[in-house]
Amino acid sequence: MAQNHIECISLTMQYFSKKNTVTAVDNISMNIGRNELVLLKGRSGAGKSTLLSLMCGLIKPTQGKVIIDNECISEMSDNSLSSLLSDKIGIIFQSFNLLPTYTVFENIEIAMVPKGLHSGHVRDNIFSLLEHFNLKDKAELMPSELSAGQQQKVAIIRTLIKQPSVIFADEPTGSVDDETAKEILEHLIHLKNDKEVTLVIATHGNIPEKFADRLFIIENGRLKK
* Domain match, 156 and 168 both: no
Of 163, 181, 215, which residue constitutes the final position of a domain?
163
* Domain match, 111 and 210 both: no
* Domain match, 12 and 81 both: yes
* Domain match, 80 and 171 both: yes
* Domain match, 2 and 65 both: yes
Question: pLDDT of the chain along its 225 residues, tens only?
Answer: 456 789 999 999 999 888 899 999 999 999 999 999 999 999 988 999 999 999 999 999 999 999 998 899 988 888 888 888 888 899 998 888 899 999 999 999 988 876 655 577 788 889 999 998 999 999 999 999 999 889 999 999 999 888 899 999 998 888 788 888 888 888 888 889 988 899 999 988 778 888 899 999 999 999 986
Of 163, 182, 199, which residue constitutes the final position of a domain?
163
* Domain match, 193 and 155 both: no
Pair type for strands 37-41 and 214-219: parallel
* Residues in CB range of 1: below 8 A, 6 or more apart: 33
Q: What CATH number did the domain enclosing 181 receive? A: 3.40.50.300
* Domain match, 30 and 73 both: yes
* Residues in CB range of 49: below 8 A, 6 or more apart: 170, 171, 202
* Domain match, 44 and 58 both: yes
Domain interval for residue 159: 97-163
